[in-house]
Every structure is written in structure tokens, then in C-alpha cells.
Amino acid sequence: MPVLGYNITKVDVERDAQNIASGQVEVKLSPRIKELRLGEVRTPTGKVTGIEVLFAYEISYNPQIARAVIEGSILYLPPQKDKTDEILNIWEEEKKVDSRLFVEVINFLSVQLLPMLTVIAKEMRLPYHIPVPRAELRTQ
């Protein structure tokens, strides 16, 4: 797996409205990569060098009843070690993210953060950001 680990540095959820109006509430998830830089982690076998990805995962509601932001970092290891410098150079010059890195990071963040966001939404009595399966009674 290209992602070795992650660190959450900020969780900010704020409810703007006291009562949530009935009707349709639209929830928008916006994962964003803020910065790429050279990073390393110490393991029992030595140092591992990779790409540190600073991210912000934003959740917005329409109508504006709340907003949430989770920020942190991920240590990403490219499949080929020689790609690290290439990915970082493209970021420095053009602020473009390698598509493979982007997909891996977004998928990892979704798996790690969505369960936490579900618990927070439940505790703050906000609409869930993902559809919850519901049973319906069918009449025959």
C-alpha cells in the first residue's frame, strides 16, 4: 500500500443553525491537497523517505447549516522510488498532483475519515454526508 500512515492535526465542525429545516439538505465533500513535500518516517528497519501530503477535507451543507474541516498529513510512498523527485518537482513548478497519488490519497482519506465524520454528524444532529440505507414497507 502506498500510504504508510496519517496524522490528523485539526478537526473543526461548527453548526450554524439551531434547527435544521425540513426538506432537502445537500452535503458536499471536498478533499483537497494543500501541499506536497519530502517526508520521512522512522521504522524498526530504518528511515523510509516518501512524500508528505498535507490535506484538507471540507464538508459543506446547502442550506448552510454547518461546516466541517479536517486537516492533516499522509506519508505516501510512490510505487517506484525514483518517482518521488519527479512528483515533487512537478508540484513545485506547476502545483499539479500526480493522478495516481491523488487517487490513492483520496481513497485512503475516504476510508479513514468518513466513519469519524458519521459519528460527529450523529452527535451534532446533522444530516449524514453519505446516504444511509433505509428499509421501506412494500404494499402488494
Average pLDDT in the 39-65 region? 88
Number of domains in the chain: 1
Average pLDDT in the 6-10 region? 94
CB 63 within 8 A of CB 126: no
Q: Pick the residue with more confidence: 22 or 31?
A: 31
| pLDDT for residue 45 is more than 90 | no
Establish if 128 belongs to a structural domain: no
Neighbours of 137 (CB within 10 A): 4
- The DSSP string of 78-107 is -SSTTHHHHHHHHHHHH----HHHHHHHHH
pLDDT at position 71: 96
State which residues form the domain around 68. 3-123
Establish if 139 belongs to a structural domain: no
| pLDDT for residue 75 is more than 80 | yes
Q: Is 123 helix (H, G, I), strand (E, B) or coil?
A: helix
The candidate with the shortest Cα–Cα distance to 33, out of 89, 93, 74, is 74
In the 8-state DSSP scheme, what is residue 114?
Answer: H
Listed in sequence order, the residues at least 6 apart from 14 whose beta carbon sits closer than 8 Å to its beta carbon are: 66, 67, 68
Please provide the size of the chain in residues. 140
Task: Kindly report the backbone phi and psi dihedral angles of residue 53, in degrees, each rounded to the nearest multiple of 5, phi listed first.
Answer: -110, 115
CB 34 within 8 A of CB 73: no
Establish if 140 belongs to a structural domain: no
The model's pLDDT over 120-129, given as tens digits with 9 standing for 90+, comes to: 988 988 888 7
